[in-house]
């Protein structure tokens, strides 16, 4: 049986996302050439099957670094409230956002399908509300939990407010990685 990306991550004590980028040859400019070469050599040595690599994710919308405080309520499909508290939106696009969980008792996301109701509490978007669904979790080295969210269909008015807000970032060229 051939090695997996997780096996390689464990061997090098690297985040699995970093190993995936190296194996795909994607955005390795911030890594040492020795590390990249070592991971690739090791992957071949242990029989990693490169045909299993997924295509690189292509974003539909540009992301912008922001800092926007918000209240969030996580509601299960049954209608039960799973958790509620404070989050910070740390980057934003027309399709979703990455959020940092600041104050929630569970500090987790349910496995069951859920909706996150978000109401921004920080100007200039204070009071703006929308619904979204969690699409990925991230545990940064600095600690805490970040949740990638995808917006659920929103009213044209809310969409227009977000678009106008992001337009200021587009004009200034403040694009996130």
Whole-angstrom Cα Rg for the chain: 19
Number of DSSP helices (H) and strands (E) in the chain, helices first: 4, 6
Q: What is the tens place of the pLDDT at every residue in 151-163?
A: 999 999 999 999 9
Residues 77 and 32 in one domain: no
Q: Closest Cα to residue 10, out of 46, 34, 37?
A: 46
161, part of any domain: yes
How many domains does the structure of the chain reveal?
2
108, part of any domain: yes
Residues 162 and 119 in one domain: yes
Residue 129 in this model has a pLDDT that exceeds 60: yes
Residues 115 and 142 in one domain: yes
> pTM of whole model > 0.75?
no
Chain mean position to CA 113: 17
Average pLDDT over residues 134-139: 84
Residues 39 and 104 in one domain: no
Buried b (16+ CB within 10 A) or exposed e, 46-83: eebeeeeeeeeeeeeeebbebebebebbbbeeeeeebb
Domain boundaries, position 41: 5-52
Residues 91 and 165 in one domain: yes
Residues 81 and 157 in one domain: yes
């Amino acid at each position: 049986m051939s090695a997996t990306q997780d096996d390689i991550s464990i061997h090098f004590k690297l985040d699995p996302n970093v190993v995936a980028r190296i194996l795909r040859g994607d955005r390795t400019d911030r890594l040492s050439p020795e590390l990249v070469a070592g991971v690739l050599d090791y992957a071949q040595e242990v029989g990693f099957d490169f045909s299993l690599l997924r295509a690189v994710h292509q974003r539909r919308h540009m992301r912008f670094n922001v800092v926007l405080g918000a209240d969030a309520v996580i509601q299960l499909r049954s209608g039960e409230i799973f958790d509620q508290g404070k989050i910070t939106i740390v980057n934003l696009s027309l399709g979703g956002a990455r959020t940092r969980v600041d104050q929630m008792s569970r500090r987790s996301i349910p496995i069951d399908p859920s909706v996150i109701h978000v109401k921004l509490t920080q100007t200039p978007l204070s009071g703006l509300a929308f619904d979204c669904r969690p699409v990925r979790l991230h545990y940064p080295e600095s600690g805490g939990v970040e949740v990638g969210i995808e917006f659920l269909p929103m009213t044209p008015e809310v969409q227009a407010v977000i678009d106008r807000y992001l337009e200021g970032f587009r004009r200034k060229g403040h694009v996130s990685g």
